[in-house]
Amino acid sequence: MDNKIAYSISDSKLGAINKATGRLAVKQTGTLYVTAKAGSLVKKIKVTIKAPYISFTKKQASIQVNRSFDFNVSTYGIKNKIIYQISDTNLAVINPKTGMLKAKKAGIVIVTAKAGSHTEEFKVTIVN
């Protein structure tokens, strides 16, 4: 009996698979099926390919002057490090590595989390 496993996919527009190793290289978002076949045994699994994204997991819409808040994000499909930025450094400062924001004056700022070409923004109102 031949114990080699052969892999295939249902939609080559969405990805390419190494027929010997089963390693999947994605091309675009969507849903496809990966089939593994060894002799008469066949196993099929559904794979959903999502677009890379950044999402704020810890956020606060309103912060008081002289208070701090630690913003956090999660990523999917992104290997770059997150860098945090603030839209107006007269109103608040943010640690680019940790996401710790310190409110200085009342107003509205945009907190931006950036990783490579991907960005996510969150509006924050600073109140007295």
1 assigned to some structural domain? no
Q: Are 96 and 111 in contact (CB under 8 A)?
A: no
The span from the CA of 127 to the CA of 103, in Å, is 9
Taking 50 as the pLDDT cut, the residues of the chain under it are none
Q: What is the pTM of this model?
A: 0.74
121 assigned to some structural domain? yes
The span from the CA of 54 to the CA of 73, in Å, is 7
Residue 89 belongs to domain spanning: 53-127
Q: Find the CATH number of the domain harbouring 85.
A: 2.60.40.1080
Q: Are residues 45 and 57 in the same domain?
A: no
66 assigned to some structural domain? yes
CB atoms within 10 A of CB 101: 23
75 assigned to some structural domain? yes
Q: Are residues 13 and 65 in the same domain?
A: no
Q: Are residues 44 and 69 in the same domain?
A: no
Q: Are residues 42 and 71 in the same domain?
A: no
Residue 7's pLDDT is what?
96
82 assigned to some structural domain? yes
CB atoms within 10 A of CB 92: 22
CB atoms within 10 A of CB 127: 11
Residues facing 115 on adjacent strands: 118
Residue whose entry in the numeric block shows the structure tokens 């600073």: 126
- Residues 58-83 have pLDDT tens digits of 999 999 999 999 999 999 989 999 99
Work out how many domains the chain is built from and give that number: 2
